[in-house]
Chains A and B, each alone.
Chain A
Amino acid sequence: MPHTLAVQTLDQVRLISLQRPQALNALNTQLLGELADALAEAETDPGIGAVVITGSARAFAAGADIAEMAQRDLVGMLDDPRQASWQRITAFKKPLVAAINGYALGGGCELAMHADILIAGSDALFGQPEINLGIMPGAGGTQRLLRAVGKSMAMQMVLTGEPISARQAQQAGLVSEVTQPELTVERALQIAHAIAAKAPLAVRLAKEALLKAMDTDLASGLRFERHVFTLLAGTQDREEGIRAFQEKRRASFTGH
């Protein structure tokens, strides 16, 4: 059992809650490692169609564990074990929905941006305050943030360390929905359940195609899209999906 997470399975959705309340869910090596493990487990479990990750009402995650980070010098940073965990989290193939209440700062904001869909409570705050400590974002904060909110807002956030509200984050495109804080997790679960009911292969390839758009040129992206689109023609679920549509009934997907 992980020590820094609570893991629940709700039908085809796995709900992972960060649980280091005394540290506002600061992401230390142990938590990131356990999170990467939990995601790996969800990925290999055929019964799981999507994952929701959340924190507490006060904080999704307030950053990295500063005390832990302070102990690492240049060489220590080179061998930072957290890097491997981040890579494993990035590589997660199933849909990942983040339900964010309260603080999503520093590593917490970066973790939220690893999710495919971000749902925020109206009291959520997103920020990259690393600059205040004489450092800078180191887990995608300068890259994913710019792609999500555009250059000016990303520069302002990263260079001043000032956070933005849930509404601002939605207007900028960082999050897709803002809900009442008490309903954030519920809404994220709803979305995850809706996705988990779709054809797993189509979901997986669609996610991959969308992520391609983040780091490739349009022509290559379109080519990739066409390839995986074609690939789906060989699946049973495609046949089932089209037939169910024609027969006006609910499709029953098997993942094949």
Chain B
Amino acid sequence: MTFEHILFTIEAGVATLSLNRPEQLNSFNAKMHGEVREALKHVRQDAEVRVLLLTGEGRGFCAGQDLADRNVAPGSEAPDLGESIEQFYNPLIRALRDLPMPVICAVNGVAAGAGANIPLACDLVLAARSASFIQAFCKIGLVPDSGGTWSLPRLVGMARAKALALLGERLSAEQAVEWGLIYRCVDDVDLRDEALKLARHLATQPTYGLALIKRSLNASFNNSFEEQLELEKDLQRLAGRSEDYREGVSAFMAKRTPSFKGR
């Protein structure tokens, strides 16, 4: 599939989606949103795809919304930003969170605004050492969107979440790891390789079970302890019926390497 603002490939179970407006630090315009949506729809429907890798081209990961695409001339009517959230960002965040497979995000450079929060909707976030996260919204009178106000306090605690959101200061990749915002930080030159290595590993794993793990962890912030125990029961019931579980157990008993099909 060819797109104008993203690169999208599928190879050996790994779908790679790279934001590709490097001159604009991969900021989103309507067309890029449309292309990402189409690619994610494909990822969802293609049974061969077992992991998604999301990254960006050039020196930035994503600078959020392309403000040039939002026409707020002085004296003109106030825009309905809620409309753009409803139409573009919320569906994107939901799509990433709900994909029935692990989503790896390789943050290759600056991640600002919505671009800082999109990785937080992914499952495993790697960042280049030179990358940074900036909740830039407060600088222009806006509120962190794309799930930021939900994810941040859960990942780094309320005190740090408020500092990040109210000050809009740059958070280095290393600091982000230390704070628990992301999983790992690697040298810039190694980012692609490390992310791909992780993706290729996950593409050989029991994808269906991984999807259920993702579902249970995603639900845990909203559930009570009792509800979560119930959910674990139901998801384990489903997992226990998968081909991969049978394969996993018989490989373990036979002391051989399992060959998972992802279902």
Contacts and interface: CB of A to CB of B under 8 A. Distances in A.
Interface residues of B, number: 5
Interface of B: 231, 234-235, 237-238
Contacts of B231: 180
Nearest to B241: A182
A179 interface: yes
A232 interface: no
Contacts of A182: 238
Interface string A162-202: 00000000000000000110110000000000000000000
Top 8 closest A-B pairs, CB basis? A180-B234, A182-B238, A183-B234, A180-B235, A179-B234, A180-B238, A183-B237, A183-B238
Contacts of B234: 179-180, 183
Contacts of A180: 231, 234-235, 238
A180 B216 CA distance: 11
9 contacts: A179-B234, A180-B231, A180-B234, A180-B235, A180-B238, A182-B238, A183-B234, A183-B237, A183-B238
Contacts of A183: 234, 237-238
A110 B71 CA distance: 44
A182 B238 CA distance: 8
A180 B238 CA distance: 10
A177 to B, nearest CB: 10
A211 B234 CA distance: 32
A101 to B, nearest CB: 14
A99 to B, nearest CB: 14
Nearest to A180: B234
Given A180-B234, A183-B234, A183-B237, 6 more contacts: A179-B234, A180-B231, A180-B235, A180-B238, A182-B238, A183-B238
A179 B235 CA distance: 10
A116 to B, nearest CB: 23
B3 to A, nearest CB: 27
A180 B234 CA distance: 7
B94 to A, nearest CB: 11
Interface in A198-215: none
A182 B237 CA distance: 10
A23 B177 CA distance: 49
- Give the residue among A179, A180, A182, A183 with the most B Cβ atoms within 10 A: A180
Contacts of B235: 180
A180 B239 CA distance: 12
A71 to B, nearest CB: 34
B223 to A, nearest CB: 11
A180 B219 CA distance: 12
B16 to A, nearest CB: 28
A182 B241 CA distance: 12
Nearest to B237: A183
A182 B212 CA distance: 12
Contacts of B237: 183
B214 to A, nearest CB: 13
A183 B235 CA distance: 9
A207 to B, nearest CB: 28
B105 to A, nearest CB: 25
B122 to A, nearest CB: 21
A167 B45 CA distance: 26
A139 to B, nearest CB: 31
B42 to A, nearest CB: 18
B11 to A, nearest CB: 29
A182 B231 CA distance: 12
Nearest to B219: A122
Contacts of A179: 234
Nearest to B98: A123
B222 to A, nearest CB: 10
A179 B238 CA distance: 12
B263 to A, nearest CB: 13
Nearest to B238: A182
A183 B234 CA distance: 8
A60 to B, nearest CB: 20
Nearest to A179: B234
A133 B62 CA distance: 41
Nearest to B231: A180
A182 B208 CA distance: 13
Contacts of B238: 180, 182-183
Nearest to B235: A180
A180 B215 CA distance: 10
B230 to A, nearest CB: 9
B83 to A, nearest CB: 16
